[in-house]
Amino acid sequence: MVPPVFGLCLRLVLLAVLALLLASLSDYALAATPIPQAVHDALDAMGPQASHIASLWNVFLAACAAVFLAILAVLLYVLWRTPRADGGDVPDLSSLREAEPGPQRHVTRAVVVSVLALFALVVASVFTDRALARLSLADAVNIEVTAHQWWWTAKYVNGGPSDSFTTANEIHVPVGRPVVVNLHADDVIHSLWVPSLAGKKDLIPGRSTVMQFRADHPGIYRGQCAEFCGYQHALMGLLVIAEPPAQFETWVQGQRQSATEPTDAKALRGKAVFESSSCAMCHAIQGSLASAQHAPDLTHVASRQTLAAGTLPNTPQDLSAWISNPQLHKPGTNMPATPLSKDDLEAIVAYLGGLK
Amino acid sequence: MDRPLVEPPARGSDAPRLKDGPPPGSAEARALDETWADPPGFFGWFCPVNHKTIAKRFIVTTLAFFAAGGLLAAVMRAQLSRPENNLVGPDMYNQLFTMHGTTMMFLFAVPVMQTVATYMLPLMLGTRNVAFPRMNAYAYWIFLFGGLMLYIAFFFNTGPDAGWFAYVPLSGPQFAPGKRVDFWAQMITFTEMSALVEAIVIITTIFKFRAPGMTLNRLPLFAWSMLVTSFMVLFAMPAVMLASTALIMDRLIGTHFYNPAEGGDALLWQHLFWFFGHPEVYLIFIPGLGFLSAIIPTFARRPIFGYTAMVLSLIATAFLSFGLWVHHMFATNLPELGKGFFTAVSMLIAIPSAIQIYCWLATLWTGRLNLKTPLLFVLAFFFILVLGGMTGLMLASVPLDLQVHDTYFVVAHLHYVLIGGAVFPLFGAFYYWFPKFSGRMMSEGLGRWSFWLMFIGFNLAFFPMHLLGLHGMPRRVYTYQAGMGWDNLNLASTIGAYTLALGIFLSLVNAIRSARSGEPAPADPWGGGTLEWATASPPATCNFHRVPVVYGRDPVWEPPPPGAPAYVSGLAADSREQLVTTVLDALPDHRISYPTPSPWPFLSAVATTILFVGSIFTPWAIVWGSVIVAVPLVGWFWPTRREAAEHMALEKQP
């Protein structure tokens, strides 16, 4: 029997749900993910580290599912077979007088099996850990990644000091070569996670941590910050682009160059505006007067696929929209809205668009 | 030298004193009721020390916070129901999830368990009140003021926004300016102080106030679970109070405990916080186990199977829970071999829980089932908690944790463990003990509706989160972009969350309706075996007109052998007198004169609140606040001639 008050409650709650859903239909400024094809799944392993973990996942899943189903089966059997009683029925106190060898045997067996299963899982876990630590690091690509609220710096440090270069929010790696990433944090704790390539690692102020992985298949892998780091923890993405070694070398050569000097008048004007406005107070473009280190390095910004750490696709329209009102697209970001005339804005977009 | 030092009151010297012993209805029983009653009137409202009065207020307060935390979650789920939603922005969302976690952990889960215990334990143990009843009252007021302070701050847009775990440096002075995190840190001080005080009350009550004959070996398993929990509180809470005090010092007076630039360490916070934080999970879970051990025997119509194993499992869980905090820190740069140790301990702790689950299954298997609402909530535990335990094993493994740590997988896991392990048993316990609290039965039909909505809603809300985590969705994000493939699972989760909320709401409706017009409950409506069922529903102000003598683990089921006394008599009926028994064997030890109602706990709590809230704004509040706190404390402990005379008279003329 359902009391009448039930219907009333149901209606009230449904109304509340409806109101909330309607309220949430209001305007929104965020764009859909710019790179929908990027892989970001812990079980879609694209390198040895992630696939070791995925195999261990399968072992755990099988063992845990078996135990869970066994307990559920026993419970259902008990519900099915045990006679019913009422609160008034006299309790059965026979267990106070005599031992219960049957249940005792069953419980003991179940405990022994549980201990053995847990021991097996610990061993499997430790061996996987060992396999992860044994990734061959010969001929590794070394990258220093620094996390900021809410973007990433990546500095490639192979070779001499003149060979190193800095980029942001997008890491290119060669397929088949190990990558050693030294991790630092500039402000608060962050965590780098590229689920299809490796488990996550924290970036902690005052400490340095290391992550090692290898990509075995070319592709675009999405990563993101996994440790809550303030307002825009949600939009702190990163792309790892794995490409064949030759293509990677070409990319490296390109990144080592200073920014392309603009040729057309509009872009030249854009450069001048960039250097003389507040842009240069935070950003750096090698080969220009802008050399600040508080925001992503824009030397080759046009070669990147996204803007604002994976928030927007890198198109002239989005770049223009981003520069005019960053807070609309990424509320809380440290980049202020820059008041620019329409011409200046177009000029800057043209200039930045040419920085391949 | 038989002249009293202080002249006792007239009736003490000549008139024969009223002693307990006669059955309910007698003049002595009426005198007992009056002696143990709370003072009437408006001012009396601030003075009660009766454990049932305090606990009822405490339970209502914690449930109000539970509802508030649930509403915050409802807004969060609405925001996440679709990608790129604009219901709330990042600033509000960060406050919402911080307040949700803080409310559920500090203002609901830990205190509600302690407060159910302060209601039930004296009844289960066969005594008239908890130990240190004024301290018990103080714990309530301080908790209430701390919780209100946090919510008032939240309504003035000063709600904490650095997460319930408040990791530094994000919660430090540089990255969290303003007073938001200060309110959070002081809320910790309030609630932990309350929890510590309650732990002392519970431990002392269990050790010293048991009915004669209730040896430790006959202690009800719920009391065992609260004893273990309270010791855990004593060891775990100081860690977080230390951590939050260091944080507030970093923020207010420029110490650098957590500032790596000045020789501090950001990981120090995590060690201290999780050294508290992981036992915290178990001190929410262990009372849940206690509820199960109270409910299952009654509804299986037999004593629990494997009592000794159950007790040892509880103690083992408590010890192990202090050795696995690092599994929250596997992604940091701690040594790999050390992490392996914590993997092993994290898995080892599954064994005592497994032992208890097997013992309950054996109890159910060999019993006869009375399938009422409380038992339904218990059966749900086997589904939800066991699933949560399995994902817990996955999180214990370093490599797997590196993938799913800080993702929605963990959100799913922790809700399976905490809601399955604590909230479902708690609801079962409410349905079980509601007749005792209120003297009325809850509606069985509405109870079943509530149960099924909660069970289905819960699984719909939280199971998809496992998949979301594996598919790469991190925790604590205010939104997510379309095209990530997370849309449908999130929508399903939101629908589930609202179904769960509806189920909880129905239980609330059920409780309110039943308290007003439910069927009157007999003393023992379920046929339970522990002592709370030996007294009326609701219990008299003194709980028991005659203090029972116990001969077994289920005293109601195991009556005294022929010729043995069923109760002790001779305690004063016209004065608050309580029997104290020995720790191990519960042999009658001595009588104590018991504290009377007093406004000082309330006033002390007000003074303490002024100190704590003041210290958010100026460190000098510690100095002048101490004076303000000292005044009511002096009043609290000031001995009066009348009380001394009363105690002397009882001593001289037992």
**Given a cut of 50, is residue B632 above it in pLDDT?**
yes
Q: For chain A, what percent of residues have pLDDT higher than 90?
A: 85
**Given a cut of 60, is residue A173 above it in pLDDT?**
yes
The 3-state DSSP class for residue B49 equals coil
Buried b (16+ CB within 10 A) or exposed e, B349-375: bbbbbbbbbbbbbbbbbbbbbbebbbb
Interface mutation target, options B170, B262, B553, chain A, most CBs of A under 10 Å: B170
- Which residue bears the tokens 């690092």? B326
Q: B397 — alpha (psi -120 to 50), left (phi > 0) or beta?
A: beta
- Which residue bears the tokens 């998949």? B467
Q: Which residues of B touch A11 (CB under 8 A)?
A: none
CA gap B634, A22 in Å, rounded: 57
Instruction: Identify whether residues A185 and A241 lie together within a single domain.
Output: yes
**Given a cut of 80, is residue B388 above it in pLDDT?**
yes
Tell whether A14 is covered by a domain: no
Task: Identify the pLDDT of residue B654.
Answer: 55
Task: Identify the pLDDT of residue B4.
Answer: 36
What CATH number does the domain containing A340 carry?
2.60.40.420
Tell whether A324 is covered by a domain: yes
- Last residue in a domain, options A256, A278, A301: A256
Task: Closest CB to B82: pick one of A24, A41, A88.
Answer: A24
What is the identity of the amino acid at B632? Answer: P
SS3 labels along B207-236: HHCCCCCCCHHHCCHHHHHHHHHHHHHHHH
**Given a cut of 90, is residue A316 above it in pLDDT?**
yes
Q: For chain B, what percent of residues have pLDDT higher than 70?
A: 97
Looking at chain A, which residue has its C-alpha nearest residue B445?
Answer: A1
What is the C-alpha R_g of chain A? 29
CA gap B40, B48 in Å, rounded: 9
Q: Average pLDDT of B32-50?
A: 93
Q: What is the dihedral of CA B225, B227, B228, B232, to 10 degrees?
A: 130
Asked whether B19 and B569 are in contact (CB, 8 A), the reply is yes
Using 50, 70 and 90 to split pLDDT, how confident is the model at B648?
A: confident
**Given a cut of 90, is residue B239 above it in pLDDT?**
yes
Asked whether B612 and B186 are in contact (CB, 8 A), the reply is yes
Task: Identify the pLDDT of residue B651.
Answer: 79
Instruction: Identify whether residues A141 and A224 lie together within a single domain.
Output: yes
Mean pLDDT of chain A: 91
**B266-300 vs B221-253: helix axis angle to the nearest 10?**
160
CA gap A87, B211 in Å, rounded: 25
Tell whether A24 is covered by a domain: no
Which residues are paired to A203 by β-bridges?
Answer: A190
Instruction: Identify whether residues A65 and A168 lie together within a single domain.
Output: yes
β strands within B220-280, DSSP E = none
CA gap A226, A211 in Å, rounded: 14
Instruction: Identify whether residues A313 and A178 lie together within a single domain.
Output: no
Q: Which residues of B touch A85 (CB under 8 A)?
A: 301, 367-370
- Could you read off the pLDDT of A75-93 as tens digits, one per residue? 999 999 999 998 888 999 9
The 3-state DSSP class for residue B445 equals helix
Instruction: Identify whether residues A185 and A274 lie together within a single domain.
Output: no
Sign of the dihedral through C-alpha B188, B189, B195, B199: positive
Report strand pairing: A237-243 vs A170-174: parallel
Tell whether A334 is covered by a domain: yes
Task: Identify the pLDDT of residue A163.
Answer: 93
Mean pLDDT of chain B: 94
| Best CA proximity match to B531, nearest among B203, B211, B205, B286 | B211
- Could you read off the pLDDT of B570-626 as tens digits, one per residue? 898 988 999 999 999 999 999 998 899 999 999 999 999 999 999 999 999 999 999
CA gap B560, B203 in Å, rounded: 27
Tell whether A213 is covered by a domain: yes
| Best CA proximity match to B219, nearest among B307, B287, B305 | B307
Instruction: Identify whether residues A224 and A327 lie together within a single domain.
Output: no
**Given a cut of 50, is residue B71 above it in pLDDT?**
yes
pTM, rounded to two decimals? 0.94
CA gap B359, B367 in Å, rounded: 12
Instruction: Identify whether residues A270 and A251 lie together within a single domain.
Output: no
| Best CA proximity match to B221, nearest among B322, B125, B364, B348 | B125
Task: Identify the pLDDT of residue A82.
Answer: 93
**Given a cut of 60, is residue A3 above it in pLDDT?**
no
- Could you read off the pLDDT of B166-207 as tens digits, one per residue? 999 999 999 999 999 999 999 999 999 999 999 999 999 999
Using 50, 70 and 90 to split pLDDT, how confident is the model at A26?
A: very low
Give the structural domain span for A294: 265-353
Q: Chain A contact for B393, CB < 8 A?
A: yes
B413: which DSSP letter? H
Q: For chain A, what percent of residues have pLDDT higher than 70?
A: 91
Using 50, 70 and 90 to split pLDDT, how confident is the model at A7?
A: low
Q: Chain A contact for B404, CB < 8 A?
A: yes
> Exposed (0-12), middle (13-18) or buried (19+): which is B14, by Cβ within 10 Å?
exposed
**Given a cut of 60, is residue A319 above it in pLDDT?**
yes
- Which residue bears the tokens 């620019």? A340
Instruction: Identify whether residues A153 and A118 lie together within a single domain.
Output: yes
- Could you read off the pLDDT of A209-263 as tens digits, one per residue? 999 999 999 999 999 999 999 999 999 999 999 999 999 999 999 999 999 899 9
- Could you read off the pLDDT of A259-283 as tens digits, one per residue? 989 999 999 999 999 999 999 999 9
Phi and psi dihedrals of B164, rounded to 5?
A: -70, -15
Task: Identify the pLDDT of residue B8.
Answer: 39
Across the interface, whether the CB atoms of B403 and A26 are under 8 A apart is answered no
Task: Identify the pLDDT of residue B642.
Answer: 87
Across the interface, whether the CB atoms of A30 and B84 are under 8 A apart is answered yes
Using 50, 70 and 90 to split pLDDT, how confident is the model at B491?
A: very high
- Could you read off the pLDDT of B133-175 as tens digits, one per residue? 999 999 999 999 999 999 999 999 999 999 999 999 999 999 9
A91: which DSSP letter? P
Instruction: Identify whether residues A303 and A177 lie together within a single domain.
Output: no
Tell whether A271 is covered by a domain: yes
Q: Chain A contact for B242, CB < 8 A?
A: no
**Given a cut of 90, is residue A34 above it in pLDDT?**
no
What are the tokens at B131?
């130990």
- Could you read off the pLDDT of B83-105 as tens digits, one per residue? 999 999 999 999 999 999 999 99
Task: Identify the pLDDT of residue A11.
Answer: 58
Domains held by chain A: number: 2
Task: Closest CB to B397: pick one of A125, A225, A227.
Answer: A125
Interface mutation target, options B262, B301, B512, chain A, most CBs of A under 10 Å: B301
Q: Average pLDDT of A290-309?
A: 95
In the β-sheet with A151-156, what is the strand arrangement from edge to edge? A165-168, A151-156, A141-148, A178-185, A209-214
Report strand pairing: A141-148 vs A178-185: parallel
- Could you read off the pLDDT of A180-208 as tens digits, one per residue? 999 999 999 999 999 999 999 999 999 99
Instruction: Identify whether residues A126 and A50 lie together within a single domain.
Output: yes
Using 50, 70 and 90 to split pLDDT, how confident is the model at A36?
A: confident
Interface of B with A in 475-504 (CB under 8 A): 475-484, 498, 501-502
CA gap A172, A317 in Å, rounded: 25
**Given a cut of 50, is residue A40 above it in pLDDT?**
yes
Q: Average pLDDT of B471-483?
A: 95
What are the tokens at A45?
């392993």
Q: Which residues of A touch B406 (CB under 8 A)?
A: 191, 193, 200, 226-228
Tell whether A175 is covered by a domain: yes
- Last residue in a domain, options A256, A289, A318: A256
- Last residue in a domain, options A192, A221, A256: A256
Tell whether A198 is covered by a domain: yes
What are the tokens at A292?
């600040």
Q: Average pLDDT of A305-334?
A: 95
Contacts of A128 (CB under 8 A, 6+ apart): A52, A53, A55, A56, B397, B399
Instruction: Identify whether residues A208 and A312 lie together within a single domain.
Output: no
Using 50, 70 and 90 to split pLDDT, how confident is the model at B49?
A: very high
Task: Identify the pLDDT of residue B313.
Answer: 97
- Could you read off the pLDDT of B338-352 as tens digits, one per residue? 899 999 999 999 999
CA gap B346, A130 in Å, rounded: 19
Helices (H) and strands (E) in chain A, counts: 9, 12
Task: Identify the pLDDT of residue A31.
Answer: 60
What are the tokens at B194?
């309350």
Instruction: Identify whether residues A236 and A308 lie together within a single domain.
Output: no
Contacts of A250 (CB under 8 A, 6+ apart): none
